[in-house]
Amino acid sequence: MKGTHRKVDSRAADRNISYCKGCNKCWEISLMNNFRKKLRKIIYYDDFPTFGKIKQLCDICIKREDNVKNVMD
């Protein structure tokens, strides 16, 4: 059964990690449970393969895009 955990890990990475076209980095959202509240943390990966990843903007690029739209109005 060697190698089966690698397939599971790669499928989970394809499902959880996205690629941002704005900053050209891969990123994922990590939820950290605290006793009182859930903390949402975004983890960025500089050198990560982008093949098979979902292409969507990260939160920082979305905010940057919204600021540019507001300034232009």
Taking the model in full, what pTM does it have? 0.73
Please compute the mean of the pLDDT values over residues 14-36 and round it to a whole number.
87
Q: Is the pLDDT assigned to residue 61 strictly greater than 80?
A: yes
Domains held by the chain: number: 1
Q: Is the pLDDT assigned to residue 1 strictly greater than 60?
A: no
Sheet with 38-45, strands from edge to edge, namely 38-45, 25-33, 18-20, 54-55
In this prediction, residue 4 carries a pLDDT of: 61
In this prediction, residue 35 carries a pLDDT of: 73
Phi, psi of 2 (to 5 degrees): -70, 140
Structural domain containing residue 53: 4-72
In this prediction, residue 23 carries a pLDDT of: 92
